Amino acid sequence: MNSGNSVFLASHDRIGRQPRVTDSGGMTMSEFTNNDATIKVEEGKDTDSNGSKTDVGRYLEVFGAELVGTGVLLCIGCASCIAGDDDKPITDFHSALTFGFTVSTIICIFGHISAAHLNPAVTVAFYVLGHINVPMMLVYFIAQIMGAIMGVGVLVLLTPEGWIKSDMCVTQPHDNLTGYQAAGIEFVATMALIFLVCGLSDPRCAARQDSVPLKFAALLIALSLAVGKYTGASLNPVRSLGPAIWTGNWNQHWVYWVSPLSAGIVTPLFYTTCFLRGGQS
């Protein structure tokens, strides 16, 4: 069983948000406030309160964090899916615990830099919630895709050839499931993950952030153990993409893009409509 996952840290400091638009001296000006400074976007140029340019540097910062974070997740997580000795088969707990605790550790490392999305579905949710803009969303996507491919590639390079199987770390639906059933399972499981993202990004939860890594670890382990037997518990398009590219196994691969991304759109819309008061986001 594989647990492919991503995460979010409810810290939006200096991440390219969809801004609040105001007017300043006849010039279009956008701004938002974070813990460090008021970031202003004027005619496409981001500057901090001291007037220094931040846009390119910020994009590179996020790109690097997501590239390395996603690569580490796939490399370590998929390593847990490889049985080195035939007489010592891996169990469901191997991948569930490895992916869950790897995610929580990556949050501790990169959460304050990029919010440690590691997952396009989480990035889409951030966009829908209004925490990032389109250019920043694309930066996340590119970094996550490249990181996933590189992470699995490093693992393949470092693993004995005899240990590499055609289904190494590949997520694919159980043979008894239809494609639509598999899509439904992935959608519901990813919704649970995105609900956690929404809850932790809710302003009312701002004082309860210390245990964020453990919250994600607990949920991802639970989801992996629950739905791993159905679909491999991907919940993350790039978690499925990396192994598929290196093994050439594309069985029902569409499920792992359509369902998580759909959940990344639907869940925050539902949350903001039903649970956020006064337009908070």
pLDDT of residue 118: 98
Please tell me the least confidently modeled range out of 8-12, 123-127, 234-238.
8-12
pLDDT of residue 231: 97
Question: Residue 50 is which amino acid?
Answer: N
Higher pLDDT, 160 or 39: 160
Is pTM beyond 0.85? Reply is no
Residue 83 pLDDT greater than 90, yes or no = no
Q: What does the mean pLDDT of the chain come to?
A: 84
> What's the pLDDT band for 22 if we cut at 50, 70, 90?
very low
Higher pLDDT, 137 or 85: 137
Helices (H), 24-133: 55-79, 92-114, 120-129
Q: What is the mean pLDDT of residues 25-34?
A: 31
SS3 content of the chain, % helix, strand, coil (to 5): 60, 5, 35
Residue 263 pLDDT greater than 90, yes or no = yes
What 3-state class would DSSP assign to 196?
helix
> What's the pLDDT band for 172 if we cut at 50, 70, 90?
very high
Domain extents in the chain:
20-274
Residue 15 pLDDT greater than 60, yes or no = no
pLDDT of residue 161: 87
Assess contact for 187 and 259: CB atoms under 8 A: yes
What architecture is the 20-274 domain classified under in CATH? Answer: Up-down Bundle (1.20)
Q: What is the mean pLDDT of residues 87-95?
A: 80
pLDDT of residue 52: 44
pLDDT of residue 212: 94
Higher pLDDT, 27 or 279: 279
Q: What is the mean pLDDT of residues 15-41?
A: 35
Residue 47 β-bridge partners: 40, 53
Q: What is the mean pLDDT of residues 198-223?
A: 92
Assess contact for 232 and 224: CB atoms under 8 A: no
How far is it, in rounded angstroms, from Cα 227 to Cα 234? 9
What 3-state class would DSSP assign to 133?
coil
Higher pLDDT, 203 or 231: 231
